[in-house]
Structure 1
Amino acid sequence: MYNLDRVFDDLADMFYGKGGYRNFPLDLVEVPNGYVVTAELPGVNKEDVKIAFEDGILTIEASRTKDPKAKYLINERDVMNLKRSISFGEIDEESISAKLENGLLIVTIRTKAPEEKQKKLITIE
């Protein structure tokens, strides 16, 4: 039987993701020789974004915090931790680049060039 705790856990995961992180909208587009990931990160500074690639998985983490020096009269923008992971096949790890402009993070990823198979000549004994 589906219990009430599970219902609330599933509902929280929908909004906040697993492990206390929220999800954020992104697009993954296949382009010739690679992929482009475009993620919406409004109000997030470049210094608050971490991008890692390990074992074929691209992980984007970001946080938005309050200014500790500010004296808020109205505070409606959430403090949040964001995280998304995307699994890829064979890519050129050295080619990954990223830029953050106007609240959009754009990550460009190139696929590995296919290895040419060498023809092996076999001598007859």
Structure 2
Amino acid sequence: MADALTTWIDRYRRAWESNEPDDIRALFTEDASYRTEPFAEPWDGHIEIVEGWLDAQDDPGAATFEWRLLGQDGPVYFVEGVTDYRDGPIYSNLWIIRLAEDGRAEEFTEWWMEQEPDQD
């Protein structure tokens, strides 16, 4: 099912670049929850997820994203990523994604921390 994760992240990046509501909805089950921080109130369901995403959207091409799978427990994936904003900070990311059988996310939680600039 790691192929399902790669497909999901590719679709996430497409939605990140397009900010199209249909691309965003396609990532999540109708009753999914999306947490932008581990203890934040989640965005629940397609309406809240799309609204929250669009309120916090990035401009297309604003960032690059590299990731690797840290582990998997059944349908739950643990992903480490780095988001590098062209005109801004670099963030370390940890994602926990629970995929439904159809490949959409039922739950998504992200942690992100700004990396310190190099001291060279």
Q: TM-score range by the shorter chain?
A: under 0.3
Larger radius of gyration: 1
**TM-score, L = length of structure 1:** 0.26
TM-score using structure 2 length: 0.27
More helix by share: 2
